[in-house]
Amino acid sequence: MDRKERFVLLLREAGDKAYNFAFQLAGNDADARDLVQEAAVRAFENMARYDSARPFDTWMLTILRNVFLDWRRRARLRAAEPLDAGEGGLAEFLAGPDLDPAETALRGESAADVQRALAALPEHYRAAVVLSDMEGLRYEDIAEVLDVPVGTVRSRIHMGRRLLKKILAETRGGAYGTA
């Protein structure tokens, strides 16, 4: 088995995890496919730097996110598209009290509601929440993928969930009125 075949085997094993993460980052299948392909090619070209003591899928997710950020950075430079407000952009909201009884639980929201709310999260929160809750990664591994300290992972996941709750509460507000 040559190294290309070995690599494709690894890719098949890590594939669903990588693809789901890519989909949650990009928001659609066409871009998710492009992202995984590009990340896989980059991973293959950099296999010499892969530490085989670490899980391959974590490494693949790391490269995937870097490819995503590269693409997005260039898109932003090019078209100045409205993207994330950034770490400080939600400061006003996040500085508010977070024990609002009106939004303290999921109340029968559909998966579509949750998915929509997740897609509306700024990327640095969404990536952390997806890696934790959908991909089942430990904070230590999330820190590696996002290239931030574990303390930052903690805050991003918590802020991300608060924002998710807020978005879901607003969704619910439309249907049920604010409690």
Partner 1 sequence: MERHEDRFLLSAAADGELTGAEKSRLDAHVSVCAACRGELDALRALKAGVAALPRRAMPLSLPDVVAARLGAEPAPGRRWAAWLWEPAAWVPAGALAAAALWTLFAAPEPVEAEALPLEELMASHARCAVESIVPTGDLVAAEFSSRLQSRLEAPHARR
Residue 58 binding partner 1, by CB under 8 A:
no
Of 34, 55, 66, 87, the one binding partner 1 by CB under 8 A: 34
The Cα 2–Cα 124 span in angstroms is 37
**Segment 117 to 146, residues that bind partner 1, using CB under 8 A:** 118-120, 129-130, 132-134, 138-139
The Cα 115–Cα 87 span in angstroms is 22
Binding mask 68-97 for partner 1 (x = CB under 8 A): x-xxx-xxxxxx-xxx--------------
Shortest separation between residue 147's beta carbon and partner 1, angstroms: 18
Closest CA to 26 of 113, 130, 155, 157: 130
Buried b (16+ CB within 10 A) or exposed e, 18-39: bbebbbbbbeeeeebeebbebb
Residue 148 binding partner 1, by CB under 8 A:
no
With respect to partner 1, which residue has the nearer C-beta, 104 or 178?
104
The Cα 42–Cα 154 span in angstroms is 29
Shortest separation between residue 176's beta carbon and partner 1, angstroms: 16
